[in-house]
Structure 1
């Protein structure tokens, strides 16, 4: 397997922080190191032939997130006129190249994807989708997702993040996720969403019951942030979802792949899977309109 990327990696350094990006691979944030330690991880054995499938970084989920179904078949969605379109799980953004513009002070980058024949086949809309990453300080990262309707018909969208946070698997039992008030839901095999149940304010990361669970924020924006506490790494990552002028984040999803995976995903989402059909977090963007969703990640030392 070839472990060298086929194109240059964009690296931004500021004080204690180092950010690495692959704009040509889905506008991917590959990693974030603070004080030389990985906070958002990128595996050393990444398969660069299929970067969208690598378990690391922050894949951008757009125009839809999660799994969508038509007549029980995954990877399809039905428009208001009854037309059925093919669209992969989590959308197409993570598979396509973005352009990139680095800020003059090298503390941030704006990556942009626009519609093309590759996107219009399964999503017949004109758009501009942007991901902006900017270091607020040496320990804090602001991230904004922006959608603009450049066409003449309303377009549906519900985007999200898929942050892969560093966590050795043998540290799960001592690590926790602090959650603002939320209702816990999940997706059923036919694509429907389970009935809500009251969520907890704290979970142990080794709790198998929160794998692939959607914590629907009540209310939104939440009064308190999400906090991922990892004593073995002597740090906590705070995810502030109450930022000025942001669309309300709908839910936070918790997930990991396997018992020996050295990562844990905490994923702020603007909607739930299959929202194009169930309406849970679905946004309709008018022609010429722009909407943005912003959050901040902050690393704190503990212990």
Structure 2
């Protein structure tokens, strides 16, 4: 099933599977979200929960029990319930159930609220700890933006001065190796060579806004005040770029496997809630 939001400026479609954003068009019917061609990558904008990235051995230990949890968690692959809807806002919910408890032994509710305001789409996450124990989690976005022109026609403009250092992956885990990326006037030109070793992973950015420029003309902007970590990714020759606000990231090569010790893991106290939001704006 799909849900559509619409105003005079833009139209959004959300798939109930994964509560995944699958389309964001302007009033001229121009599409800004990657089409999901499986020849390159068959998703559009998956929600990463309750982990971001990969765990060492695809598992974690909690209370001396080992649980298997695959890359990016399970939220992107399960059906959410639509719990409220207007022309310009929709709220989706995922509740812990018998299947999730087998791989993530916590009682939770994850809500996603999509709000369309003119040409801007706000995406809010609310994680409710419905348990009587502390809930460990990570959460992230993975939107893929369509780049219909030649890949090197595009540049990423950061809104703050950056010492742009990304962490390298080693067997899908974050290593101690880093690369410093050269920028000019806070802009990073896109080339496929940037992604020869998979994603660019940033533990810290000064910027909280990144703009995609097409031949130096602003195309789209993502704002992520609530997210301290960030990923940028594409595949070789693929006509898209993923700009990924994260709260958390893959295990490091030094991980001991215990979820409560995981680097960058977040915690919610019993019966408390954690809220955060980012936005995508067509320029």
Question: Under a length normalisation based on structure 2, what TM-score does the superposition of the two structures give?
Answer: 0.86
| Contact 1:187–1:273 under 8 Å retained in 2 | no
Cα deviation per residue 1:237-272 (whole Å; 9 max; x = unaligned)?
111122xxxxx312221111221x121111111111
Q: Give the corresponding residue for 1:156.
A: 136
* Bigger RCO (CA 8 Å, 6+ sep): 2
Q: 1:133 aligns with which of 114, 119, 123?
A: 114
User: What CA distance in whole angstroms lies between the structure 2 residues aligned with 1:76 and 1:118?
Assistant: 16
Q: Give the corresponding residue for 2:215.
A: 231
Structure 1 residue 194 displacement after superposition: 2.8
SS of 1:186's equivalent in the other structure is: strand
Structure 2, unpaired ranges of 5+: 253-258
SS of 2:11's equivalent in the other structure is: strand
SS of 2:176's equivalent in the other structure is: coil
1:271 and 2:248 aligned = yes
Q: 1:175 aligns with which of 154, 157, 163?
A: 154
Q: 1:249 aligns with which of 205, 227, 248?
A: 227
1:34 and 2:26 aligned = yes
Structure 1 residue 127 displacement after superposition: 0.1
User: CA distance change for structure 1 residues 207 and 46 in 2, over 3 Å: closer, same or farther?
Assistant: closer
User: CA distance change for structure 1 residues 14 and 102 in 2, over 3 Å: closer, same or farther?
Assistant: farther
More strand per residue: 1 or 2?
Answer: 2
Q: Give the corresponding residue for 2:266.
A: 283
User: What CA distance in whole angstroms lies between the structure 1 residues aligned with 2:141 and 2:260?
Assistant: 21
Structure 1 residue 227 displacement after superposition: 1.3
| Contact 2:167–2:174 under 8 Å retained in 1 | no
Q: Give the corresponding residue for 1:22.
A: 15
Q: Give the corresponding residue for 1:50.
A: none
User: What CA distance in whole angstroms lies between the structure 2 residues aligned with 1:277 and 1:186?
Assistant: 24
Q: Give the corresponding residue for 1:245.
A: none
